[in-house]
Amino acid sequence: MKRLLIGLVLAAVSIPASAGRDERLFFPIEDVYANDDLKLKISPEVKLFFGKQTYPDPEQSYGVFTANRKTNFLNKSDKEACEIAFVSAVVALQERAQKEGGNAVVGIRNVYRKDNFVSETEYECGAGNVIGGVALQGEVVKLP
C-alpha cells in the first residue's frame, strides 16, 4: 500500500506542465457589473475606461501600471473564477490610482502572457487546471 501511494505521488509530480489545461477565455465586462456582489467591490470613485473608450483630457498622468491577479478554479465555473480574478485586477488598478493621486484608469487593456487584447466590452482570462488569472494594464490619470 505504501509503495502504491509513493508511486502515485511520483507519477503525479512527473506529469509535464504541458499536459495541463491552458486556455484563453473571453467574457463580457458588463456581466461583472450585473453581479451585485462583484460590482460592490469596484469603487465608483476611480473611473475606469476600457480599450478605446473616450474620456476627458487628463490634467495629469501618473504612469502605466499592470495588475496581474490569479484565483483558483476549484469548485467554481470558469466564468465565476474569471470574474473574481477580473474584479481583483480592477480593484488593484483602482488602488494604485488612488495611491498615485489619480482618479481614473484609462486605456485599460488585457496583457495576459504579454499579449495585448484591447476591447471596450470584453476581458481575457487565462484558465489552467487549477489556477487562472487576469492581467490588466492601464494609465493612471487625474481627470477634471
Q: Does the domain made of 20-142 have the CATH classification 3.30.110.70?
A: yes
* Cα gap 142→104, rounded to integer Å: 6
Show me where the domains of the chain are located.
Answer: 20-142
10, 77, 91, 141 alpha-carbon torsion, rounded to 10°: 100
* Cα gap 55→31, rounded to integer Å: 22
Which of these, 125, 67, 136, lies nearest to 99 by C-alpha position? 67
**pLDDT truncated to tens, each residue of the chain (144 aa)?**
555 445 444 444 444 444 688 999 999 999 999 999 999 999 999 999 999 999 999 999 999 999 999 999 999 999 999 999 999 999 999 999 999 999 999 999 999 888 899 999 999 999 999 999 999 999 999 999
Decide: helix, strand or coil at residue 68. strand
Q: C-alpha cell of 47?
A: 473611473
